[in-house]
Structure formats: C-alpha cells, structure tokens
A and B are shown apart, each in its own frame.
Chain A
Amino acid sequence: MPTMVSSLEELESLRKDILSRRDHTRPIITVCAGTGCQTYGAADVYQAIVGEVKAQRLETKLEIKATGCHGFCEKGVVVVIHPEEICYVKVTAADAPELVGAAARKILVERLLYVDPVTGQKIAREPDIPFYKNQTRIVFGNNKRIDPKNIEDYVALGGYGALGKALRRMSPEQVLAEVKKADLRGRGGGGFPAGKKWEETRNAPGDIKYVIVNCDEGDPGAYMDRSLMEGNPHAVLEGLLIGAYAVGAREGFVYVRQEYPLACENLNVAIRQAHEHGFLGENILGSGFGFTVKVHRGAGAFVSGESSALMSAIEGKVGEPRMKYVHTAVSGIKGRPSNLNNVETWATVPLIIDKGADWFCSIGTEGSKGTKIFSLVGKVNNTGLVEIPMGMTLREIIYGIGGGIIKGKRFKGVQTGGPSGGILPEQCLDTPVGFDELAKLGSMMGSGGMVVMDEDTCMVDVARYFVNFLCEESCGKCIPCREGLRVLRQILTDICEGRGKPEDIDVIREIAEVMADASLCALGTTAANPVLTTLRYFGEEYEAHIRDKRCPARFCKSLTSYYIDPEKCTACLICLRNCPASAVVGDKGIVHWIDQEKCTKCGVCFEVCPDRFGAVVRISGEPVPPPPMPGTRVVRKHEG
C-alpha cells in the first residue's frame, strides 16, 4: 500500500522505513535492463538469474534488481553485484548458475570479469575499470542502483529530498537564484543559461505557465536522454517539479519520442507512483504547491524537437517551428509562458538544490559548469554513455575512457553536435570540452553525441549523410532550408559520385551563408555546419574527389574499385563463395579476379578475405590493373 507523503518529516520517515525493510547484508545482483543490454538478451539473463536464485534456494540470501542503463553498452549484458560493485560483462543466460552461486559465496567468476586490453589484467570492481574510473557520474551514476519501476529505490537514495527542501525551506525566488548561481546551461544543444530562461518565464505576464521536458532526442548517435528517462525518470520529474515551483507553473508536459517505448513506459509508471506517494498532485509535501504532468509522444519527426515545434505538437497541431522573435518563455503553448528544457538539464536540478550552486560550480570550467553526459560511439573501443566534468579534453575522453580506435586504426575525426555540429580533426584532440570551446572551432557540444571516425570514413560522405538527413527531416516551411538542403544534397552526392566540379565549393559556401542568415529555425541555420567544418578541416578530401575523382578513404562506391592482388591470393574460394554478384572468377589453386563489370562494390570480399592473406585491396583514383592471364596459378600456397 503506497504511503502518501505530506510533509518533509513524512518523507524522511518513508526513507528510513524503506531502508529498514532492506537487508543491507544481502548482496544485490543488478542486471542492466536498458535498451542496449535488452538487445543483448538482458531479459533472458534476468529471468535466468531469478530462476537460479530460486533453484539454489537463495531467495533470502540474494536480491535481484533490473536497473536502467549502466552506460558500458559495448559490454552488454552488464551485471553488477553490490555492495562490492563486482562487475561482470557480456553475461549470457547460460552464465546464471555460476554467477548466482559465486555471488552467494562472495567469490568471483573470473571469466566474466572485464579484461584491460592494454595490460591484460582482469578488473573486478566497476569503479576500477578505466571506462568508469575516469568519469564523474553525478547525474547518471544512480542508474545502476535503481529499478526505474520502483519509486522506493529512488526515495531510498534520498530522492525527492531536494524537492522537499525547495518547497518547504526555500521560496521560488531562492530556488531560481540558486539555479542562476549554478550557471546551469541547457544540455539539449543550445547551451542557453537555464536560470535566465526560468527567470524570463517567471517574470512573463500571465497566471498560467508551463514547464516542459524535451525528450525528443533526435540527433542520430545520441541516446543519453533515453537512458536517463528509462533508468531514472524520477530524477527528471523531481527537477521538473522544482522548476515548476520556481517559475510558477502548475502544469507540465513531457514530450518523448515514440522511438523510445521503454522510456515512455517507465516514465508513465514513475508518474503514477509519484502521484500515489503525493509527489505529484495537490498540496505536495504539505507546501500548498500543486503540479500535474502530461506525457506526449512524438510521431517520428526530428524537427519536432525544436522548442516551438514541440510546443505546437503539444497543442495538437503539426510540429513545425515558428518565428521565435518573441521567446517561448513569454509566449509558448497557447500563447502562455512556457519553459522548455532538456531531460539532462532537468535531471541536474535536484543535485544543484541538494548540494548547492557552489558545489556545482566547483566542477567544470569558467563558461561550462558541471558535467555532461556524452554518447561515445563510432569507431572507438569502449562505446557507451560517459559522464565527464566539463573541461576534460577530447583526447582524454576518446583514449582515456574510450580506449582508442578499434582494430588499431588511425583516428580521423570526432563528430559532435549532431547535424548542427561539426567534425574536429586530430589537431583539435587536446581541446577541453565545453560549450564555447567547441563552438570556437566551428562545431558545438550539441546534445552530447560524440561519434568517433577513423581512416576508413570519408568526410565528404559524412557531410552528404548529414545534409541528406536534414533534407528528409526539414519541415519544408521556409525556402532557404527546404530548397537549400535539396541543392546541397545534390551537389554533395555529385561530388561523392565523381561528378564534382571546382565551382561546387563556392556554391556550397554561398548557400550555406544564405541558410545561416535566413532560415526560419535552427535546423536550417545550422544545417550547413557539417559541410563547412569538413571543408575547413578536410578540404583536401573534397579536392581529391573533385579534381582527381579519388576518395582517399576508399569509401565512396562510385570512386572505389575492388581488386585482388594476384601475388597475395591463395585461391581459398572464400570471397568467390560470398560474392553476392558472382563477380569473382577463379577456382581452387587458380588466382581469383574480380569482374569489374559485375562488381557492385558491396565490399564483402574485402571483409571476408582472411587477414593473414589480405589479398583484396580497394583502389581509388587509379585505373584497376587488368586481370591475370586465365588459369594463372597461385604464387602463395593456401595455409591449412
């Protein structure tokens, strides 16, 4: 029977009561059940562990919990055993019997431990694993301790204490002042000072005001908000409540992408449980302040994450941006003052109220306080979600936490800021991460996507990819964005397919400037950033494509050919059998060659040719050597 909490004292009693009902001597086996680990079979692992605990009659000795995302997505399914924080990686359902037995006897299952790729050493405790050791997980860290479908886990950790402090011990103005002092900048991409926005909303005329959570997270490659919303929805709700109190809103909205069904589900459970406990509804914690929240799902449009578009969608209209010369903080939903912030921004608020602005400001840099969660993905060894203090350098993140480039390849660039951002090259690796630092280099922090690219990535193709993405996602209302993107897309496709002309670069720059000046919303004004940064830092790749019809990364299909080196081919038949176009000609003992007329440049032969032979090469910008004489026998013998 859920306990209604109607005062600070009752909240503290509830917390103590929950803790007293928990046996702190019992190890807790937490299974990461975020969407990433679910893909790797987390549900099966969880069920298997539950089954094993029953089978081994250990129900009174062990507790099992399914939590939100731990962040180390490369190593899913991740299982952490508290209180020692023993971390097992790549766990499967078959590991359950051994894992459970070991947990009960407080010994380790060595083979499931993380192995440091550099030292070869096994590391038992999660905080000692380099991926985690170098992070500062003030916002994201609780994900591994909480079952998002159980509010008691959140309360047990002190959850809703900051709300209690705000509602019962601070005035709305004091809450606002604290958030302003903390210099919290928006984590959704704009980096606008949250306190300033809250103040504008608070001061705007009108009795009815709104607060909104933007969980539309459309930047491809970014999934921090998904994991926060799935794994710790109460942190977001608590922040939203505190903000509502500060600005004078009694109603709020959470806008969640429909591509995040688990986030939506966990959020709805959290809202229901918060109501049951009195954290939502009337007279919260006996303060007289009341607040309710509605959930709106998106329906598949990146541009609907733009603040005015999102508010239009909440009104039941099409999610298109409008001119925002009058800020939405003054006139938003239904013309009323509406304060919109990103999921991560809201989730940071309870910490600021709980520990104070001074504490928050002690982390980070002059212009960027606190931490930021990034999705470190792409060609990096340790892909996943990482939370770092602002000011850590790109190199420290990519190498110190990310473990460097996979397969030992060469770093080429790191993409931040999604389709509004840019790709920074090797010479920028020692840049401290912060809003202004990245903007100075032509990129931006954005929502937190950090995609690492290596020598096999073609930068012209990356620009084409982003322009194509935006072209498909543009709402189409204004001419510069709708038509400008269409033209840019065609020019970049032409360049990638060998039809580039020298004057294309000037046209690109002209359209980029017109779009930046004249587009209706930020999708349009920032759309040219990926092209402009790649021109700035990787200009020679454009030149190679245009002048030499060559793709230095040997990625662009139209400019790349596949060729089998007769000196290296052992006629093992592997590529021949795998070629979907039957373009490989050869036989056992007879050197293979690729019929260029039939070849579709799919790259399968390149991938399947065993590394020790490495006979398939990619050629760009040079003619393909003629095939060997028919019946030429191999020079190198097939081993084994």
Chain B
Amino acid sequence: MTGVAALVSKVVGSRHNDKDMLIQVLLDLQSGLGWLPQEALAEVSRQLRVPVTRVYQVASYYKAFSFAPKGRHNVTVCLGTACQVRGAPRLLDRTADLLKLAPGETSPDMRFSLNTVNCLGCCALGPVMVVDGKYHSNPSTSELQNIVDSAQ
C-alpha cells in the first residue's frame, strides 16, 4: 500500500467507512496532505465505495479543496462586507504586490499561497488577513513585510 492509500485507509476508518462522511474525509485528507492528489481521490472512491464522479464533484465544488499542492504558508485576505468597507481590496492589492501573486496562486518556490475568503467572522477587526492560522488586523506595510520575511 502506498503512503497515500494508507492515509486514506486511516481517515476512512476513523469515519467508520461512512459514505455520508465523504466531505469530512476529504477535509481530513486536504489537511493531512496539503492538497488532494488524484491517487487519493481514486482511493477514497474505492475505499468509501462512492462513484469517482461524486468524489470529483464534491472535491471541485468546495473552496477548501485544492488539486495542486499549496505553498508552505497560506496567506488569506478576507473580502467580507465589513472588511470590504474598511479597505480589504487595498490590503489585497498590497499583499498581492508584495508576494507577487494573484489570489489563488502559489509561488514557484512553494513558499506562499495567496487566497481570498468571503468572511472569517472577525468583522470588527477588518480588514483581516490570516497567515498560517494567525490573524492580523489591518496590517501595515511594515507588518506585512515582517510577516513575509519571517515565513520560511
């Protein structure tokens, strides 16, 4: 069994081989692998006994899943209404310029992935940016630079 197949087996087992848990299984795999390789999706179909069409339909429907490896550091800018009104588009522009990435892209050296999200639920702190699970409220240009420099 390959590493991926073993991981799928572990995850599917932890969800009691329950077909209803397809989305939860994919979330666990995305979290464990950082992305969803084709092998993993084929294994999920096989081990959970759901058609491969359904696995891909679900995997391609939700924003949480990626079909390509993500960067080591995930940078997410919130574009929710409150953040929008408090300057999120400019924060996104500044961040995109600094990282030299468009939203959805991963840097060639696999260091960063830049994403947007439609509301993180921290609306009072807008505009909000999350880097590797750490939240930043209205980071200044120098704060942004620090964040980028300290992320290997």
Contact = CB atoms under 8 A, between A and B. Distances in A.
B38 interface: no
B81 A451 contact: yes
Contacts of A466: 81
- Tell which of A76, A220, A222, A465 has the most Cβ of chain B within 10 Å: A220
Interface string B95-130: 001000000000000000000011111111110100
Interface stretch (B21-29, B67-75, B144-152): B21-29
A39 B123 contact: no
Contact of B137 (A40, A217, A473): A40
Nearest to A296: B24
B142 to A, nearest CB: 12
Given A40-B137, A218-B118, A377-B82, A297 B90 contact: no
A425 B60 CA distance: 40
B84 interface: yes
B126 A377 contact: yes
B23 A223 contact: no
Contact of A383 (B54, B123, B135): B123
A217 B121 contact: yes
Interface in A1-51: 35-36, 38-40
A301 interface: yes
Nearest to B21: A316
A314 interface: yes
Given A36-B124, A219-B119, A318-B61, A299 B90 contact: no
Given A36-B124, A378-B82, A449-B81, A259 B117 contact: yes
B121 A378 contact: no
A383 B128 CA distance: 14
A317 B117 CA distance: 23
Contact of A379 (B50, B58, B83, B85): B85
A579 B137 CA distance: 23
Interface residues of B, number: 44
Contacts of A219: 81, 119
Given A301-B61, A301-B62, A602-B93, A465 B124 contact: no
Interface in A191-235: 217-223, 226-227
A39 B64 contact: no
A384 interface: yes
B121 A223 contact: yes
Name the interface size band of chain A.
Answer: 35 or more
Nearest to B117: A259
A103 B35 CA distance: 49
A320 B85 CA distance: 30
A289 interface: no
A35 B61 CA distance: 27
Nearest to A530: B81
Contacts of A220: 79-84, 118-119
Contact of B124 (A259, A300, A383): A383
Contact of A418 (B81, B97, B125): B81
A300 B64 contact: yes
Contacts of A261: 133
A313 B120 CA distance: 21
B81 A465 contact: yes
Contact of A35 (B58, B121, B126): B121
Contacts of B136: 39
A623 B20 CA distance: 61
Q: Which 3 A-B pairs have the closest CB atoms?
A: A300-B63, A220-B80, A73-B124
